[in-house]
Amino acid sequence: MQRVYSVRSTQPTHEQLALQETVFHNANGYLGVRGTLEEGAPEGMDTMRGAYVNGFYEIVPMKQAEKLTHVREDKESMINVADVQGVRFCLAGEWFSQWTGALVECERLLDMDRGITERRVTWRSPKGRETVLRFRRMASFAQPSLFLIDCEVTPLNYEGTVEVESTHLALVKNYANPNDPRLAGESECHLVPAGSLLEEDASYLSTRTRVSGLTLTTGVKHALEPAASDARTVYDPDAHAAAFRATVTLERGQPLRLQKYCVFSDARRHDDTLAAAQQAMADAFGKADALYRAQQETLAAFWESSDTTILGDNDANLSMQFNLYQLFQSAGRDGLCSIAAKGLSGEGYEGHYFWDTEMYMMPFFTLTMPELARKLLGYRYRTLDAARENARLLGHRKGALYPWRTITGRECSGYFLAGTAQYHIVGDIAYAVGMYYEATGDRDYLTREGAELLLETARLWMDVGHVVEGTFRINCVTGPDEYTCLVNNNYYTNACAKNNLEWAVRAAGLLETWGLYDEWAARLGVTREELDAFAHAAEIMYLPYDEKLGINPQDDSFLQKPVWDIAATPRENFPLLLHYHPLQLYRYQVCKQADTVLAHVLFEKLADAGVRERSFRYYEKITTHDSSLSNCIFCIEACRLGLRHEARAYFGDSVKTDLLNTHGNSKDGVHTANMGGCYMAVVNGFAGFRLCADGVRVDPFLPEGWTGLKFSFQYRGSRLRFEMEGGRYCVRLLSGGPVSVFTLEGAHRLERPGDEAEGKTR
Ligand code: BGC
């Protein structure tokens, strides 16, 4: 199977421009560059020309209308860094641009096997000269500081001089849209010059953020063939920009190749960013072919471990590959950063990390690339102290309160009702720790980091909650549904807290078995009484239940509100958040996204099938799915309840959210949580995959229109493959073992590679 997504169009893509910048961006977990056209776009066209370094931020004001105590008045915001994308060609006197002359052919493609994007153009100039241009781009996985633009220009029906101009601009602005709360409000340049160096035809430009004081150095160096005697790089101190210029004379049919090596190094990772950039350039320059090969090898290994194939629906399958590729491109791998809500593809949500990583993306990484999953969890451990501090700021005497959105661990949500109040993020992170341990059995992780994180998050719940009439209650929080704020006993939050408390106790028990408890308990001041209190609170956790309807209400007051009439709401008024005052939404039963249904998916045992089905039916009538984190969860629950038709409908176009721009905002960046959610819908939904304490379980069925489904996964160091086709399915052990697989037909023990558990699909 070839994994290539491409778009052909001989019309200049005005409306599609910004969207394609997202779809064809290149990233490697460290840096991301949007797929902006090298020659630029005419003035006034909507384009977000951007390059980002994961976790590189400025501190910007977050104005609060009124002074509220301990509410943050500034936040971290991911900033646009140096623009290295500009490359222009003047072909026998005419500057190439997609916006002039005619496009005889034009194709953009993303090759997910080779890890590159390409734009191939046959251009007829206004004077009728024809040229083939190819721009290939790569954000290297082997050398994460490197972004490469590789251009080839071939005159078809003329010969003459070609002038090359390639720019390196250090001072750039962020994109802004004052009318969209999901974007920054003002377009600003957050950088000041901090040094320049021209050395061996390379330009190194350093900048520093004004408030966070972080330095970033970018280096650019060109390899040109045929060589040009007049090639030179000049620096303009006023603009803090450099430009490379050269002229070559080409025969008809003779290609010119220009390789632009761009390296990024930042002060969060390097003490001396200039030296690091110089070293990175020395490592990369002239090695494009080797780097392409390394890229292909990285991708081959990625697909081998995480291949997830849908048979019989090519569009859905290609979109699935696209989504998994984007997750791989977006994930921070150095423990210093995580996965932003838009990955490294755009400025939506300002590069912040949310619960999205733990609840929607971690399942994919945990099951396919556990080493990377551990790095992501490592980021949360690294910010545990900041979470402790945050808890104190909010008045908690103990425990750790993770911020709702952040880069380095500080709270960055301005609107605390739908931000900081989402305490469930604490339980979400703990859930991911538990799941990671369950799937990998990684004792080292639990000992060094996981157990402490579970303890500190459990402590937080003990401080937030209290016992009323024999039940443990949690007041004044916001659940995942952001159309219902500050409530008592959000079912989802309470269920997460219960799980969190149970895991803290379990982790302590495991440490005890391994003979590590005493040291751990002494270091963190844990007592037996404290652990007993955790267990007791978990046991008596209050989970709202409505006798009359036989459902779990979202919270204590939810069912007392009138129901929002979704059917009578004009289509153009969705998403509701862009059309109604928050208070108006809060007074109704209307959900932005899965909330109680998500709790039912994660914690199946807390409610029986009848309650879950009635709840599902209830919430589906009042959920708008205005968040892209929603449909996938409804899909999983529909699969579990045997609601095949609904399951297929919920999966619907979710998998194509960014390729079809179904939420209308993919130009601001990809929806990474939805991408992980689609993986969950396929694996946990259609394949019915679950982790259990002593193995894995599958309970699959094929939705209408699909002929098969295959995926690879890892469990406790073993590699396995799930395949379903023609009414049958099997789980095969590829390496490692033994692994227990539970199916409707019974329990199977896979002892050695090649052993299979088989069954008939539902
Ligand atoms: C959703 C949140 C999500 C955030 C970032 C919001 O629209 O309601 O649940 O964390 O987007 O993806």
Question: For 70-129, what is each residue's pLDDT tens digit?
Answer: 999 999 999 999 999 999 999 999 999 999 999 999 999 999 999 999 999 999 999 999
* Secondary structure letter of residue 702 according to DSSP: P
Could you tell which of 183, 354, 576 is best to mutate to test the pocket of ligand 1, judged by most ligand atoms within 8 Å of the CB?
354
Q: Would you state the pLDDT for residue 62?
A: 92
Q: Parallel, antiparallel, or unpaired: how do β-strands 739-743 and 695-697 relate? A: parallel
Q: Residue 622 C-alpha to ligand 1 middle, in angstroms? A: 18
Nearest to 241 by CA among 346, 86, 38: 86
Which residues are annotated as catalytic? 482
Query: Nearest Cα to 689, choosing from 314, 302, 354, 366?
Result: 366
Q: What is the mean pLDDT of the chain?
A: 96
Phi and psi at residue 756, to the nearest 5°:
-135, 150
Q: What is the DSSP letter of 477?
A: B
Closest C-alpha among 206, 202, 237 to residue 222? 202
Which residue's CA is the closest to the ligand 1 atom numbered 11?
627
- How far is C-alpha 13 from the geometric centre of its chain's CA atoms? 26
Share of the chain above pLDDT 70, in %: 99
Summarised one tens digit per residue, pLDDT across range 207-240 is: 999 999 999 999 999 999 999 999 999 999 999 9
pLDDT score for 63: 87
What is the atom index within ligand 1 of the atom nearest the CA of 593? 8
**How far, in Å, is the centroid of ligand 1 from the Cα of 593?**
9
pLDDT of 186 strictly over 90? no
Mean pLDDT of 575-580: 96
Distance in angstroms (rounded) separating the CA atoms of residues 98 and 16: 13
Residues forming beta bridges with residue 735, ordered by sequence position: 719
> What is the edge-to-edge ordering of all strands in the sheet holding 308-311?
308-311, 708-715, 718-725, 728-735, 756-760
* Ligand 1 atom nearest to 481, measured from its CA: 8
pLDDT-derived band at 187 (thresholds 50, 70, 90) equals confident
Atom of ligand 1 nearest to the CA of 352: 5
277 CA → ligand 1 middle, Å: 35
User: How far apart (Å, rounded) are the C-alpha atoms in residues 195 and 216?
Assistant: 10
Atom of ligand 1 nearest to the CA of 354: 10
Q: How far is the CA of 170 from the centre of ligand 1 (A)?
A: 32
Q: How many CB atoms lie within 10 A of CB 45?
A: 13
The protein residue whose alpha carbon is closest to atom 9 in ligand 1 is 480
Question: Which tokens hold the place of 82?
Answer: 């140096």
Which residues, 6 or more positions from 330, have their beta carbon under 8 angstroms from its beta carbon? 27, 29, 32, 339, 340, 343, 344, 345, 670, 672
* 418, amino acid identity: A
For the chain, give me the number of helices (H) and strands (E)?
20, 30
Question: What spacing in Å lies between the alpha carbon of 131 and ligand 1's midpoint?
Answer: 45
Q: By alpha-carbon position, which residue is closest to atom 5 of ligand 1?
A: 341
Q: Could you report the per-residue pLDDT of 396-414, keeping only the tens digit for each?
A: 999 999 999 999 999 999 9
Going from the C-alpha of 749 to that of each of 161, 224, 437, 741, the distances in angstroms are 70, 60, 21, 6
Tokens of 223: 């390899």
Residue whose CA is at the smallest distance from ligand 1 atom 1: 627
Q: pLDDT, tens digit, for every residue of 293-345?
A: 999 999 999 999 999 999 999 999 999 999 999 999 999 999 999 999 999 99
Structure tokens at 460: 């937080």
In this predicted model, what pLDDT tens digit does every residue of 440-460 receive, in sequence order? 999 999 999 999 999 999 999
Work out the pLDDT band at 737, boundaries 50, 70, 90. confident
Lowest-confidence region among 176-190, 198-212, 671-685, 707-721: 176-190
Cβ–Cβ < 8 Å for 540, 471: yes
Q: Ligand 1, closest atom to CA 480?
A: 9
The pLDDT assigned to 168 comes to: 98
pLDDT for 181 equals: 67
Q: Amino acid letter at 412?
A: C
Closest atom of ligand 1 to CA, residue 592: 8
Contact residues of ligand 1, CB 6 A cut-off: 341, 349, 354-356, 480, 482, 592-593, 627, 629, 673
CA of 627 to the centre of ligand 1 (A): 6
Beta-bridge mates of residue 241: 169, 236
Question: What is the rounded average pLDDT of the residues 491-504?
Answer: 99
Quick one: pLDDT at residue 659? 96
CA of 129 from ligand 1 middle (Å) equals: 50
Residues 380-400 pLDDT 10s? 999 999 999 999 999 999 999
pLDDT the model gives residue 43: 85
Residue that wins the pLDDT comparison between 178 and 664 = 664
pLDDT at position 180 over 90: no
Question: DSSP 3-state assignment of 669?
Answer: coil
Atom 12, ligand 1: residue with shortest CA distance? 341
Output the CA–CA distances (angstroms, integers) from residue 498 to 210, 354, 392, in the order listed. Answer: 43, 21, 22
- Mean pLDDT over 470-480 rounds to 98
Which residue among 482, 484, 595 has the greatest number of ligand 1 atoms within 8 angstroms of its CB, and so is best to mutate?
A: 482
Q: Whose CA is nearest to atom 6 of ligand 1?
A: 627
3-state secondary structure of 165: strand
**Which of the listed residues 629, 658, 670, 674 should we mutate to test ligand 1's pocket, taking the one with most ligand atoms within 8 A of CB?**
629
Split at pLDDT 50, 70, 90, the class of 379 is very high
- The CA 185 to ligand 1 mean position distance, Å, reads 18
Q: What's the pLDDT at 65?
A: 83
To which H or E segment does residue 201 belong?
none
- φ, ψ at 416 (rounded to 5°): -65, -25
The set of residues, in sequence order, having a beta carbon less than 8 Å from that of 460 and lying 6+ positions away, is 391, 396, 398, 399, 400, 401, 423, 426
405 Cα nearest atom in ligand 1: 10
Closest C-alpha to 374, from 441, 294, 274: 441
- Residue 182 in this model has a pLDDT that exceeds 70: no
Ligand 1 pocket, mutate which of 345, 356, 428, 493 (most atoms under 8 A from CB): 356
Q: How far is the CA of 743 from the centre of ligand 1 (A)?
A: 35
Q: Is 232 exposed, middle or buried (0-12, 13-18, 19+ CB in 10 A)?
A: exposed
Q: Which residues pair with 106 in a beta bridge?
A: 121
The residue among 110, 221, 125, 99 whose CA lies nearest residue 168 is 221
Spatial distance between the Cα atoms of 588 and 557, rounded to a whole number of angstroms: 10
What is the reported pLDDT for 762? 84
